[in-house]
Amino acid sequence: MKTLIKTFSNGVRLVYEKTENTKPATILICVNTGSVNEDNKNNGISHLIEHMAFKGTKNRTAKQISQEFEELGAIANAYTGQFRTCYFATTLNENIEGCFNILSDIVFNSSYDEVELEKEKKVIYEEIDANKDVPDTVIYENYLSNFYKNTPIERRVIGKKEILEKITRQDILDYFEKNYVGNRIVVSVVGSLPNQKIVEFVKKYICKFFRKKMEIEEPNKSLHIIPDRNFVFEKKDINQSQIIFGFPADNVFYDKSNAYPLMSFIFGGGMASRLFQKVREEHGLVYSIFCQPYLHSLGGDVLISFSTNEKNAKKAMALIKEEIDKLVKDGITDKEYERAKTFSKSVLISSFENGASHATKNATNLSIFNKIFTVEDILEDYDKISKEDINQVIKKVFNYCNICGNVLTKNPDETLFDVFK
């Protein structure tokens, strides 16, 4: 694959990965704004804008948008996160220009009709209620709000009903004008058309919306969030206790950040991981258990999550504590180290075969680091991570003074985390 990276005079950035075969093409418009850019008066507005993009523009009705995408054979969708809002379409290479036309229209030219706005708010209210019926979604959102308390990450991407109800069309227009600016736009494309064609499409359909380059504050690469030790218990009539707890980690700019996924895979990422083998296979206390890192520009955390019958919760926690202590004391084995690298490389290579996944990776890396990483770059970086690098991360992360946890259960037992004293 050959990669083109171009920054236009208005700040819009393009990354184009040219393939040599007839794979479907993916176009992704990434806007570097999300819930971290909101405040307590407009929380949820980024997600609301994403929804409204498909509800009509000055050129197309909502029905026409759907029909035109389907006429191009395009699968189109969007999603909002804490740091980015992304709109994308996957289609045949010969239909790329048509998708550029529609995507740019819905992202930068939405009408935000007030009648449609009120209807779409109701759709999001249904989404909020639906999430409340999914215990693992509830517990994860609660955990983020707890771990990242008093930081922008504590705000929920989907927002809250009482805040969304008060958001007006003018609020949307003000937020859009402030955040949908050229410097925050990354266009990521994977396809097989000539480079010049893609550059022309970006100029024709996207750059026209931005007259000048805006100044954007550079990220603080030294941010490292350290929460106070804290546990939150919530009562809910569910069959199993949902439990999440986590520890502070480095941010995404840490030069050996790939030590985190390798460590997490060894400890709780696969069926051969220590937590899976001990808590599920040996003792049968859980159906699944995970250890996952989350590194971002404002900090990071490593979380452990599982669900179990109430009567088994304390035993499961004791076993996890036992495995953490062993990991910190003895480190990882040579076999674990090699297995983690081999598996991670396999997953990485597979992900680059998926056009949408590939486009997303490129957009994310360009947004954060202002460069992209090829599969060869990442494979080389994995090889640079030593066994000792992983053991150093382990000793740095698992500090019981900074543990934060959340429990969702029928009968809360506030002594559950006493094992970590």
Question: In terms of pTM, does the model score above 0.85?
Answer: yes
| Per-residue pLDDT tens over the stretch 307-339 | 999 999 999 999 999 999 999 999 999 999 999
Helices 375-384 and 334-351: crossing angle in degrees, nearest 10, is: 170
Q: Give the active site residue among 50, 116, 323, 336.
A: 50
- The per-residue pLDDT for 241 is 97
- pLDDT higher than 70, residue 207: yes
Strands 299-308 and 289-296: antiparallel
- The answer to whether residue 50 is catalytic is yes
The enclosing H or E element of 146 equals helix 135-147
Please provide the distance, in angstroms rounded to a whole number, between the alpha carbons at the two ends of the chain.
52
| Residue 222: band (very low, low, confident or very high) from pLDDT cuts 50, 70, 90 | confident
Task: Fill in the amino acid letter for 186.
Answer: V
Task: Fill in the amino acid letter for 90.
Answer: T
For 212, the 3-state DSSP assignment is coil
**Interval 410-417 mean pLDDT:** 96
- String of DSSP letters for 75-99: EEEEEE-SS-EEEEEEE-GGGHHHH
Question: Are 83 and 216 in contact, with CB atoms under 8 Å apart?
Answer: no
- The per-residue pLDDT for 216 is 67
- Backbone phi, psi, residue 224, to 5°: -150, 105
- The per-residue pLDDT for 353 is 78
| Residue 22: band (very low, low, confident or very high) from pLDDT cuts 50, 70, 90 | low
Both structure tokens of 268: 């709780």
> Quick one: what percent of the chain has pLDDT higher than 90?
89
| Residue 1: band (very low, low, confident or very high) from pLDDT cuts 50, 70, 90 | low
Both structure tokens of 75: 């699968």
Q: How many angstroms separate the CA atoms of 253 and 362, rounded?
A: 16
